[in-house]
C-alpha cells in the first residue's frame, strides 16, 4: 500500500497531527492489528487535541495576560483573604461569562488581584473565549492615540467584541475628562453583552469620587456594579521581595 500520497494529502489539508499519528501507528505492533474504528478514533483524537492546543496557544497569545501561567486551580481560596471556595467554584464554571456578568476584584497592593484576574482570563481562554488584558493607564493612552490617528472607532469595536476584557489597575492615578468619556463608551459597548473583570485598589464606594463627574460616574458605575461578582481581598502583600 502506498502511504505517501495519503500523507501528502493530510499535510495539504493541514492535518499534520493525524498524519504523524498515522505514521506512528504503522510502527506500533500493538496498534497495527487493532480494529479499524479504534485506530481511526485514535487518529481523530490526535488531530482534535492538536487543534485545541493550537487554538489555546493563539488565544493566550492574543490575551497578553500579565500572568499567563495563572490558573484558578492555584487560587488560595481562604476566607481570611476575602475569597472562598464556593465563589471560586462558581467563577470556575465560566457561566458568568455566558451570562455577561462582571467580576470586581479590589484590595490593597500586592494581595493578588492581578493574579486572580489573569487566572480567570486564562480559564476563559481554555474554554475557547476571546480575552484581552489591559492596564487602565495604557488603555487610556491607546485610546488617545487612536483618536489622533483616526482608529478610535475601530479600537472600541474590537474591545466590544471580546468575550472577556480584563481591566487592571482601575482607579490608579487621576482621570482626565476625555478618559471619563472613553471609559463610559467602552463599558456601554459591553454592557449586557460581554463580561469584564476589573481590579482596583479603590473600593467601589470610592469610584464615584475618583471619576469626578457625578453624571458620568453614575452612568459608569451603573454599567459595572449591579451585575457583578465582588471580591474584596484582604491581608498583606503576597509579592516575594527581590534579592
Residue 82 phi/psi, 5-degree rounding, is 95, 5
pLDDT band at 243 (very low <50, low <70, confident <90, very high): very low
Report which secondary-structure segment, H or E, holds 106.
strand 102-106
Kindly list the structural domains of the chain, giving each domain's residue range(s) and its CATH number in brackets, ordered by start.
4-62 (no CATH), 68-232 (3.40.50.300)
Q: Are strands 164-170 and 195-200 parallel, antiparallel or unpaired?
A: parallel
Is residue 225 predicted with pLDDT exceeding 50?
Answer: yes
In whole angstroms, what is the distance from residue 114 CA to residue 226 CA? 22
| 19-43 confidence digits (pLDDT tens) | 888 888 888 877 777 888 888 888 8
Reported as a single tens digit per residue, the pLDDT across 159-176 is: 999 999 999 999 988 999
pLDDT at position 240, please? 60
Average pLDDT in the 110-139 region?
96
To which H or E segment does residue 170 belong? strand 164-170
Confidence of residue 147 (pLDDT cuts 50, 70, 90): very high
**Please, are residues 58 and 212 in contact by the beta-carbon 8 Å criterion?**
no
How much is the pLDDT for 82?
79
pLDDT tens profile 176-209: 999 999 999 999 999 999 999 999 999 999 999 9
Burial of 216 (0-12, 13-18, 19+ CB in 10 A): middle
Question: Nearest-CA neighbor of 106 among 212, 194, 202, 1?
Answer: 202
- Contact, 71 vs 127, CB < 8 A? no
Amino acid at each position: 500500500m502506498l502511504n505517501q500520497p495519503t500523507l501528502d494529502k493530510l499535510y495539504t489539508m493541514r492535518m499534520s497531527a493525524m498524519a504523524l499519528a498515522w505514521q506512528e501507528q504503522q510502527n506500533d505492533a500493538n496498534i497495527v492489528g487493532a480494529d479499524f474504528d479504534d485506530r481511526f478514533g485514535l487518529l481523530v483524537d490526535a488531530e482534535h487535541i492538536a487543534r485545541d492546543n493550537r487554538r489555546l496557544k493563539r488565544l493566550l497569545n492574543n490575551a497578553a495576560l500579565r500572568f499567563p501561567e495563572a490558573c484558578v486551580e492555584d487560587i488560595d481560596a481562604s476566607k481570611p483573604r476575602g475569597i472562598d471556595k464556593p465563589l471560586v467554584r462558581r467563577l470556575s464554571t465560566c457561566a458568568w461569562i455566558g451570562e455577561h456578568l462582571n467580576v470586581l476584584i479590589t484590595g490593597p497592593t500586592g494581595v493578588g488581584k492581578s493574579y486572580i484576574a489573569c487566572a480567570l482570563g486564562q480559564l476563559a481562554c481554555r474554554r475557547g473565549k476571546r480575552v484581552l488584558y489591559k492596564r487602565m493607564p495604557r488603555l487610556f493612552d491607546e485610546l488617545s492615540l487612536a483618536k489622533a490617528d483616526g482608529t478610535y472607532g475601530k479600537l472600541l469595536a474590537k474591545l466590544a467584541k471580546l468575550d472577556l476584557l480584563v481591566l487592571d489597575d482601575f482607579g490608579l492615578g487621576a482621570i482626565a475628562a476625555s478618559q471619563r468619556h472613553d471609559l463610559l463608551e467602552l463599558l456601554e459597548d459591553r454592557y449586557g453583552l460581554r463580561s469584564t473583570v476589573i481590579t482596583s485598589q479603590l473600593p467601589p464606594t470610592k469610584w464615584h469620587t475618583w471619576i469626578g463627574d457625578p453624571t458620568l460616574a453614575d452612568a459608569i458605575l451603573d454599567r459595572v456594579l449591579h451585575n457583578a461578582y465582588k471580591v474584596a481581598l484582604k491581608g498583606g502583600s503576597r509579592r516575594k521581595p527581590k534579592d
